[in-house]
């Protein structure tokens, strides 16, 4: 049992320094298994008390207040699917002067390898070998302004001794930074650009950057020797669109789209954007997937369906497509075309997009 120290009296924590142990809690702290479970803390109080969480959503409390005497609070932890331990701080208060914290911890979990029914592994890259991308990958090389008024320059792996893509700790890092010449450099890479795949389940686990003006994307282009948009384009995930920034929802707003048409002048698109329940720029990895068959393109985030496009009568989405990852900066999508208005990439800073793995089933 741990005494939670403070000052109080007469059923309310007040200003009496002689009362030392207003609340005692056992056990001293709680450790939850990664699988998730319910545990109980026992509280012995000399005054009425309140209990407040720290805003995290992986646990819940059965009660948030109590009175003089003994009581219990049940704490339920959800399953931890991240490969790292997590913790939370509860705050007991009483009256105006008494406050004490209580620690919750949960063991690190394991990433679920979700495989939809009827699929088997076709190709994957877990980025575990070497320090640079292998032969399945191709870098785009283009100057700023190439498309969409974007501000970054795409280079083939390295510039001024710095890598725009590198493999480290089993991750693909796309690094975006300002060079000594004041220009912005970043990476855009293609998987199996000369073959691609037709239909299947495409998924990547990604940690997204923060910062006004960054535009990370996971998407696909038609591998059919046709010019855009006749080749077809599938945007599985894009973030950083200007309306989300204006509304203060940029960490939750996701955009997905398909682009097609016989020529740029006759370009058509179907576009969908919405806010998900929690931030996707919270410092954790999230999964983004496309389930593609003859009739539909279904986008999911963390295995929760986000949107479906009907392609049953759309001839542009029945060829092979290849995968792209890129970290763009500025441009029409973000509404920022002035390099000095970028809050996500100041001088001497860099932003990163991390891909844990990508797989095709």
pLDDT in tens, 71-121: 999 999 998 877 789 999 999 999 888 999 999 999 998 766 677 788 899
The burial class, CB within 10 Å (0-12 / 13-18 / 19+), for 309 is buried
Check whether 232 has a pLDDT greater than 50: yes
Between CA 50 and CA 290 the distance in angstroms is 45
pLDDT bracket for residue 142 (50, 70, 90)? very high
Q: Across all residues in the chain, what is the average pLDDT?
A: 90
User: Distance between CA 99 and CA 6 in Å, rounded?
Assistant: 7
d(CA 220, CA 229) in angstroms, rounded, equals 12
Chain center to CA of 189:
20
pLDDT score at 83: 79
Is residue 230 pLDDT above 70, yes or no? yes
Higher pLDDT, 159 or 21: 159
Contacts of 353 (CB under 8 A, 6+ apart): 173, 174, 176, 206, 207, 208, 209, 216, 325, 327
pLDDT for 18: 30
pLDDT of 255 higher than 90: yes
Predicted local distance difference test score (pLDDT) of residue 347: 65
pLDDT digits (tens, 9 = 90+) for 244-254: 878 888 899 99
Annotation marks residue 82 as catalytic: no
Q: What is the pLDDT of residue 170?
A: 93
How does DSSP classify residue 13? -
Active site residue 85: no
pTM over 0.85: no
Q: Examine the pLDDT at 350 and tell me if it is beyond 60.
A: yes
The reported pLDDT for the residue numbered 113 is 66
For the purposes of burial, counting CB atoms within 10 Å of the CB of 190, is it exposed (0-12), middle (13-18) or buried (19 or more)? buried
Residue 7 has pLDDT above 50, yes or no: no
For residue 248, the model assigns a pLDDT of 84
Q: Are 173 and 165 in contact (CB under 8 A)?
A: yes
Residues paired with 206 in a beta bridge: 286, 355
Question: What is the separation, in whole angstroms, between the first and last Cα of the chain?
Answer: 52
Backbone angles phi, psi at 271, to 5 degrees: -135, 135
Selection from 71, 76, 39, 40 nearest residue 57 by Cα: 76
Q: Which of 150, 166, 238, 241 is catalytic?
A: 238
pLDDT at 9 over 90: no
Instruction: Indicate whether 334 pLDDT > 70.
Output: yes
Q: Are 148 and 331 in contact (CB under 8 A)?
A: yes
Cα–Cα dist 337/335, whole Å: 7
Q: pLDDT tens digit string along 22-69? A: 899 999 999 999 999 999 999 999 999 999 999 888 999 999 999 999
CA distance 211 to 327: 12
Using pLDDT thresholds of 50, 70 and 90, give the confidence band for residue 133. very high
- For the cut 90, the answer to whether the pLDDT of residue 2 exceeds it is no
| Residue 342 to residue 361: CA distance in whole angstroms | 38
Greatest mean pLDDT among 10-24, 206-220, 316-330: 316-330
Mean pLDDT over residues 6-24, rounded? 49
Which are the contacts of 226, defined by CB distance < 8 A and separation ≥ 6?
none
| The pLDDT of residue 11 is above 80 | no
User: Where residue 294 falls among pLDDT bands split at 50, 70, 90?
Assistant: very high
Instruction: Indicate the helix (H) or strand (E) that contains 246.
Output: helix 242-247
Q: What is the pLDDT of residue 15?
A: 41
**pLDDT tier at 5 (50, 70, 90 boundaries)?**
very low
Confidence of residue 348 (pLDDT cuts 50, 70, 90): low
Q: What are phi and psi of 182, to 5 degrees?
A: 85, -5
Tell me the average pLDDT across 207-234: 94
Instruction: Name the pLDDT band for 4 (thresholds 50, 70, 90).
Output: very low
Given 150, 166, 203, 233, which residue is catalytic? 233
């Amino acid at each position: 049992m741990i005494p939670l120290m403070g000052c109080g009296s007469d059923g309310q924590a007040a200003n009496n320094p002689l009362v030392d142990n207003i609340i005692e809690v056992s056990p001293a702290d709680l450790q939850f298994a990664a699988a998730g479970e319910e545990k109980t803390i026992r509280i012995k109080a000399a005054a009425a008390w309140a209990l407040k969480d720290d805003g995290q959503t992986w646990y819940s409390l059965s009660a948030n207040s109590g009175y003089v005497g003994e009581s219990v609070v049940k704490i339920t932890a959800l399953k931890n699917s991240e490969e790292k331990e997590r913790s939370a701080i509860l705050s007991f208060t009483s009256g105006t002067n008494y406050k004490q914290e209580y620690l919750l911890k949960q063991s690190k979990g394991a990433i679920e390898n979700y495989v939809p029914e009827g699929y088997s592994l076709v190709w994957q890259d877990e980025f575990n070998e070497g320090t640079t991308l292998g032969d399945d990958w191709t870098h785009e090389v283009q100057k700023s302004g190439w498309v969409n008024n974007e501000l970054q320059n795409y280079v083939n792996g390295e510039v001024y001794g710095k890598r725009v893509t590198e493999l480290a700790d089993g991750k693909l890092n796309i690094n975006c930074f300002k060079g000594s010449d004041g220009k912005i450099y970043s990476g855009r890479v293609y998987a199996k650009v000369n073959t691609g795949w037709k239909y299947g389940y495409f998924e990547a686990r990604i940690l997204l950057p923060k910062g006004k003006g960054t535009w990370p994307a996971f998407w696909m282009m038609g591998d059919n020797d046709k010019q855009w948009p006749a080749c077809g384009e599938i945007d599985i995930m894009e973030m950083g669109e200007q309306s989300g920034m204006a509304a203060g929802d940029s960490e939750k707003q996701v955009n997905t789209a398909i682009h097609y048409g016989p020529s740029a002048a006759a370009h058509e698109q179907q576009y969908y954007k919405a806010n998900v329940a929690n931030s996707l720029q919270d410092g954790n990895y999230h999964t983004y997937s496309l389930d593609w068959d003859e009739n539909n393109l279904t986008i999911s985030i963390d295995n929760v369906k986000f949107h479906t496009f009907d392609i049953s009568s759309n001839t542009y989405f029945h060829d092979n497509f290849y995968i792209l990852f890129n970290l763009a900066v500025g441009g029409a999508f973000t509404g920022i075309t002035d390099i000095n208005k970028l809050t996500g990439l100041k001088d001497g800073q860099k932003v990163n997009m991390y891909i844990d793995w990508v797989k095709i089933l």
